[in-house]
């Protein structure tokens, strides 16, 4: 094992180190506490005792024969990676395996011939170990694998016990380890009906601000509308942190294959938040309105018109509006031709409204130039050169010069 970094992880317990050295000393007299060079590529054998899950007082999950075999394969592969791969315990990465151990292991599960769900119990065990290198392998290698528990899209059975063991493992994981594991844990929790428990655990984690958005973006993907009440509750609870509320606004977009009924339910819920006073929340709601399409884009444009008239338009609103028109001209766009035309009218009005913040008017002018580099935009830029605001005048001047050159 080539450990690049190991700060911030749980050190091995002293008793386990002493016991390990005693055991090795019986078979490796004179060689020290560790494997010999000839042992580096040899799979580790796993006893029945090694296959038990410790859940700190929680009931031990029932293990069937398939899971016992899966654990034996997994733990042997983990030890091989610990021995032969480069492990960065700070960034939670496993790279440069001497014998391609990581890919050899993953290949067994890529086509679905081996069950990923059968590994969940052993994964919970790995994530709660004291050995930082093994925990890193569990977070990085297994965390990536468990993003999809079934390549064929089926819904394997995950017991509440296994889900609870995985959720409990979060508490002891550093930031990057937790972030790499949280999607797979969300998948397992969703299948086991333990989403509420997962959200509570993520809220209590020292890096909850990084973990909760990942949970929110994953839960609908794995539960569809069954996870919607939990998402609504999360939005209501996270009112003190705009970034977390914003994450709930973006979550519907993870349901990429939403049915018309599902889309309507989620989009009607998000629509009022386009007018939220918290900029991150309003921006993500606006982006979701683009995903919603149709009448929801019209609702977004209605909101933009109101903001322009009130002189309160935020510069960040120009970004989703920009996506309503084909860029460059002729390419696909999110909105219809009529919606694109209306978008340009809104942006032009924003440039001309001197009550609006200068940065917002600059972004509106830049958006119009990007979407419609023609003589009408040249006239708009010439108007903007006469408005107050040094930065606006500077940007308008550069656009005038660019259009004069392009339209000769």
pTM of the model: 0.75
Whether pLDDT at 88 is above 90: yes
Report the C-alpha gap between 5 and 96 in whole angstroms: 15
Cα distances (angstroms) measured from residue 39 to each of 51, 85, 174, 263, 342: 22, 14, 31, 56, 70
What are the tens digits of pLDDT across the range 232-260? 988 988 667 899 999 999 999 999 899 99
Structure-block tokens of residue 42: 């040899």
pLDDT of 168 reads 97
What are the tens digits of pLDDT across the range 303-325? 999 999 999 999 999 999 999 99
> Half-sphere exposure of residue 362, counting CA atoms within 13 Å on the CB side?
13
Chain centroid to CA 56: 29
Handedness of CA 33, 38, 43, 46 (dihedral sign): negative
CA 238-241-246 angle, 5° bins = 80
The angle, 0 to 180 degrees and rounded to 10, between the axes of the packed helices 279-292 and 242-250 is: 0
Report the C-alpha gap between 204 and 348 in whole angstroms: 46
**254: helix, coil or strand?**
helix
Report the C-alpha gap between 217 and 262 in whole angstroms: 15
pLDDT of 19 reads 31
Q: Of 17-26, 42-51, 174-183, which has the strongest mean pLDDT?
A: 174-183
Report the C-alpha gap between 131 and 125 in whole angstroms: 11
Whether pLDDT at 77 is above 90: yes
Q: Which of 261, 360, 345 is nearest to 302 (CA)?
A: 345
What are the tens digits of pLDDT across the range 23-69? 323 232 233 333 333 333 333 333 333 333 333 444 444 557 877 88
Query: Rounded to a whole number, what is the largest CA-CA distance in the chain?
Result: 87
Q: Which of 179, 305, 202, 296 is nearest to 249 (CA)?
A: 296
Report the C-alpha gap between 105 and 116 in whole angstroms: 12
Structure-block tokens of residue 327: 């860029």
- CA-based Rg of the chain, rounded to a whole angstrom? 27
pLDDT band with cut points at 50, 70 and 90 for residue 81: very high
Domain boundaries, the chain: 1-206, 293-408
From its phi and psi, is residue 198 left (phi > 0), alpha (psi between -120 and 50) or beta? alpha
Report, as an integer, the average pLDDT of 71-97: 95
Handedness of CA 158, 162, 167, 169 (dihedral sign): negative
Q: Which of 239, 258, 257 is nearest to 249 (CA)?
A: 239
Beta bridge partners of 94: 87
């Amino acid at each position: 094992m080539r450990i690049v970094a190991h700060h911030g992880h749980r050190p091995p317990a002293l008793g386990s180190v002493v016991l390990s050295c005693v055991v090795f000393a019986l078979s490796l007299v004179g060689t020290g506490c560790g494997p010999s060079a000839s042992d580096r590529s040899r799979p580790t054998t796993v006893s029945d005792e090694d296959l038990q899950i410790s859940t700190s007082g929680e009931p031990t999950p029932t293990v069937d024969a398939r899971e016992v075999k899966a654990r034996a394969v997994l733990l042997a592969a983990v030890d091989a990676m610990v021995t032969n791969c480069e492990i960065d315990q700070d960034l939670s990465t496993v790279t440069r395996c001497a014998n391609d151990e990581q890919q050899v292991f993953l290949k067994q599960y890529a086509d679905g011939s081996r069950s990923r769900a059968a590994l969940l119990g052993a994964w919970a065990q790995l994530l709660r170990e004291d050995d930082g290198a093994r925990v890193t392998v569990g977070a990085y290698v297994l965390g990536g694998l468990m993003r999809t528990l079934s390549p064929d899209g089926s819904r394997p059975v995950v017991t509440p016990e296994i889900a609870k063991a995985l959720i409990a493992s979060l508490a002891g994981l550093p930031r990057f380890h937790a972030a790499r594991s949280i999607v797979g844990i969300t998948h397992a929790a969703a299948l086991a009906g333990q989403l509420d428990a997962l959200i509570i655990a993520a809220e209590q984690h020292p890096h909850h601000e990084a973990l909760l958005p990942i949970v929110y973006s994953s839960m609908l993907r794995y539960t569809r509308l069954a996870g919607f009440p939990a998402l609504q509750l999360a939005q209501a609870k996270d009112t003190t942190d705009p970034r977390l509320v914003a994450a709930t606004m973006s979550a519907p977009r993870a349901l990429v294959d939403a049915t018309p009924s599902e889309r309507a339910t989620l989009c009607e819920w998000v629509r009022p938040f386009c007018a939220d006073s918290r900029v991150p929340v309003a921006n993500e709601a606006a982006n979701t309105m683009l995903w919603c399409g149709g009448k929801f884009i019209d609702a977004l444009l209605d909101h933009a018109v109101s903001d322009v008239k009130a002189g309160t338009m935020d510069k960040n609103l120009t970004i989703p509006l920009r996506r309503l028109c084909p860029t460059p001209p002729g390419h696909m766009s999110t909105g219809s031709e009529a919606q694109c035309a209306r978008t340009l009218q809104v942006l032009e009005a924003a440039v001309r409204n001197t009550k609006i913040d200068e940065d917002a008017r600059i972004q509106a002018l830049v958006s119009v130039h990007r979407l419609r580099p023609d003589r009408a935009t040249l006239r708009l830029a010439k108007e903007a050169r006469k408005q107050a605001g040094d930065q606006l005048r500077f940007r308008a001047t550069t656009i005038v010069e660019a259009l004069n050159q392009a339209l000769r």
